[in-house]
Chains A and B, each alone.
Chain A
Amino acid sequence: MLKKVWKFLSSMQFAVLLLVLLAAACALGSFITQGQSYDWYAAAYSPRLAAVIVAAYMDDMYHSWWFLLIAGFLCCNLLLCNVLRLPQLVRRMKAEADPQTALAGPVTVTRAGVRTPERLFARLHMPRPARMEAEGREALFAAKNRAGLWGAWVCHLGILCLILGFGLGQMTHQEYAVYGVAGQSKAVGDTGYLLTIDDFRVDLRPDDTVEQYTAAITVRDAASGARRSAEISVNRPASLFGLKFYQNSTGWAARVAVTKGGEPLQDAVLCVGEYLRVQDMPDLAVYFNAFYPDYVLVEGQGPATASGALRNPAYLYSVYYRDDIIGMNALLEGETIRIDDYEIRFTEPQSYTVIQVKRDRFTWLALAGGLITLLGLFLALYIQPRRLWAVREEDGTWTVSGYSAKGGVLFAEQFEDAAARDG
């Protein structure tokens, strides 16, 4: 029984079943929006379907136990297949180079009456044949591309490394997002590092489209005080203290000043999407809804921006009192919000940057897996083992035979063409 289970787990049928299941699960996952709540699915589809999605973990399919189980079984299958096939492969490698095995083995094509077999070997780009004796007759033998036998094995190894690298990376990686404007310093999660955004600039083209986002950053190790600086932009991350820093995205921020009875009370940089609670009246808060660098009011649509350039800045805000919205408007440069004694002013619009910080110790394994898979596929699909042998007949001519498991009829045609050219 155990032997049967073992055999099934390492079988090709099981591998095909797993690949089909994986493809079907991936297809399903691509159609169902991931990471939403039951309410979202109920509104988007139907309450019944939403219940099924949540119950079957299809809302986070790629991390669901059953998806991981399929991937785990695939790893088992690949590992067992490779382990069990290794001795066979080694034997086949030896056999492929052994003339006695070739002479007794299968034949793809054969031709009698060849006068100069060496030329046929050369025309088929075979290595120089070895001379020997077979059943009392003179014989020639050559084999090539034996490395191709390892193709599937190497490919399986690559996929194993890839899945392993990806899985370990998912389990152990650390990821943080730090956002802020130039001059701000923020802690990078619980890593003990402090990130300072020295500068952030958005390079615009003449047509106001963005060419590049660039941030100059300094990272300080709070424990040792060591500092390292780098410039990062999209497609050009930097590695500092074993962490990788990516220029991820950007948005707008502004300086918000609160005065009470004409006296300064509060001054802070607020990013779009953030609240500012008034210091001496926490029930009162201002929410920064949106920013329009080139404000226009489009009829029927509301506020919009004509371009990405800072030509006519406007700040869309909401005022909350005890979590109830009491006002919402777009504020132009120079305008203020007045609530009793309080006056709130938005100034100095600037871009903030979102810096993604990541540590994944297994990326190299996934990358190596990808490259090994490529090598394996190349060996499996393009390095086709073939052997050619010739036996001298009593009349002095040679009977030349060839074998290529994957070449089949194409190898036979190539052989016949080469033989015909030599007459």
Chain B
Amino acid sequence: MLQFENMLFTIVILLYFAAMLLYFVYIAVKKDSLAKAAVVLQAAGLVLHTAALVCRGIGAGRLPMTNQYEFATSFAWGLCLVSLIFILRFKFPMLGAFAAPVILLIIGYAAMQSRAVRELMPALRSSWLGFHVSTAIIAYGAFGVSFVLSVIFLLRDRMQDQSFWDKRVPSREKLDLISYRSVSLGLLFLTFTIVTGAIWAEQAWGSYWSWDPKETWSLITWLIYAVFLHLRIRRGWKGKAAAIFAVVGFICVIFTYIGVNTFLPGIHSYA
């Protein structure tokens, strides 16, 4: 089963890479049918990615969400899923062109990690694992989409051939609202992650909050996005400033995921 997962994982990388190339060609030749094909490829990649995760879960006999490789591949899966939902919901395939490189970067990071299946330490043997990590995957995916949307927002007016971009990229106002929607989704799920993590920590470690670096940085990420929402709602801080804030927020997300594990070891060090 794990060999099958390895094979699927390789195919998934190739599919995401092909989707990215197709998105780029779409921008270069400005042919909308290519965008549709790229979305189909991305969706096919997502289906096989799901299958790869299921295979790993069956092969490992547990949820595939416990080490750097498993979380990285799940993070890429979450970003792919949320970006596809936003592409279809808002009829916005251009989003895929900017999301695909980020997905590839994350899955590339996963490919560099050890894929060995290790047995779970007792603290991880809990039914809260699924709730805690799966909500984090959706939260990170949604924040990833808000990052991508913010990059599009910031680049939108710098693009040559404005008529092409005007037709295929939503107005600044709509882009800003879509980004707000993705931050909303991310913040809601990040809150779920923190709450479920606290309940689990109380059972496993006897304390629902220990100021562990991972916990602390999740809180920092939460605070940053809370500031983002306050400024946006109360002060009408929309547009460019909000886009820059969303980029900073995603840098925090990445630091919480990779930076904390690398520089600030704590009781979450296995994750």
Contacts and interface: CB of A to CB of B under 8 A. Distances in A.
Do A and B actually bind?
A: yes
Contacts of A211: 119, 122, 125
A382 B123 CA distance: 34
Contact of B213 (A22, A30, A209): A30
A378 interface: yes
A207 interface: yes
A408 B119 contact: no
A130 interface: no
A158 to B, nearest CB: 9
B188 A378 contact: yes
A409 B194 contact: no
Contacts of B231: 16
Contacts of B202: 363
A26 B223 contact: yes
A248 B188 contact: no
A12 B229 CA distance: 11
A205 interface: yes
Contacts of A15: 230
A84 interface: no
Contacts of A209: 118-119, 121
B250 to A, nearest CB: 15
A209 B216 CA distance: 30
Interface string B190-205: 0110110011101111
A374 B204 contact: no
A330 to B, nearest CB: 28
B113 interface: no
Contacts of B195: 370-371, 373-374
Contacts of A373: 191, 195
A156 B207 CA distance: 23
B206 A29 contact: no
Contact of A377 (B121, B126, B191, B264): B191
A213 interface: yes
Interface in B191-241: 191-192, 194-195, 198-200, 202-209, 211, 213, 216-217, 219-220, 223-224, 226-227, 230-231, 234-235
B223 A19 contact: yes
A341 B217 CA distance: 59
A132 interface: no
B171 interface: yes
A213 B204 CA distance: 12
A166 interface: yes
Contact of B211 (A34, A210, A358, A408): A34
B61 to A, nearest CB: 12
Contacts of B171: 409
B193 to A, nearest CB: 11
A366 interface: yes
B123 A235 contact: yes
Of residues A26, A373, A374, which shows the largest number of chain B Cβ atoms within 10 Å of its Cβ?
A26
Query: By DSSP majority rule, is chain A's interface helix, strand, loop, or mixed?
Result: helix
B187 interface: yes
B184 interface: yes
Nearest to B217: A30
B40 interface: no
Nearest to A24: B220
Nearest to B260: A30
A62 B195 CA distance: 20
Contacts of B213: 30
Nearest to B126: A235
A83 interface: no
B209 A166 contact: yes
B191 A233 contact: no
Nearest to B180: A406
A251 B54 CA distance: 37
A356 interface: yes
A240 interface: no
Given A16-B227, A16-B231, A31 B203 contact: no
Contact of B184 (A205, A374, A381, A408): A381
A26 B216 contact: yes
B57 to A, nearest CB: 19
Interface string B115-132: 000110111011000000
Contact of A246 (B177, B178, B206, B260): B206
A380 B198 CA distance: 23
B191 A410 contact: no
B216 A234 contact: no
A231 to B, nearest CB: 14
A23 interface: yes
B264 A30 contact: yes
B143 to A, nearest CB: 14
Given A16-B231, A26-B216, A367-B199, A235 B122 contact: yes
B230 A12 contact: yes
B206 A210 contact: no
B119 A205 contact: yes
Contacts of A26: 216-217, 219-220, 223
B174 interface: yes
Contacts of A213: 122
A373 B219 CA distance: 14
29 contacts: A12-B235, A15-B230, A16-B227, A23-B224, A23-B227, A26-B216, A26-B217, A26-B223, A30-B264, A209-B121, A210-B122, A212-B125, A234-B122, A235-B123, A235-B200, A235-B204, A237-B206, A244-B206, A246-B205, A246-B206, A248-B205, A366-B198, A367-B199, A371-B195, A373-B195, A377-B188, A381-B184, A408-B177, A410-B178
Interface of A: 12, 15-16, 19-20, 22-23, 26-27, 29-31, 34, 62, 166, 175, 205, 207, 209-213, 233-237, 244, 246, 248, 356, 358, 363, 366-367, 370-371, 373-374, 377-378, 381-382, 408-410, 413
Interface of B: 118-119, 121-123, 125-126, 171, 173-174, 177-178, 181, 184-185, 187-188, 191-192, 194-195, 198-200, 202-209, 211, 213, 216-217, 219-220, 223-224, 226-227, 230-231, 234-235, 260, 264
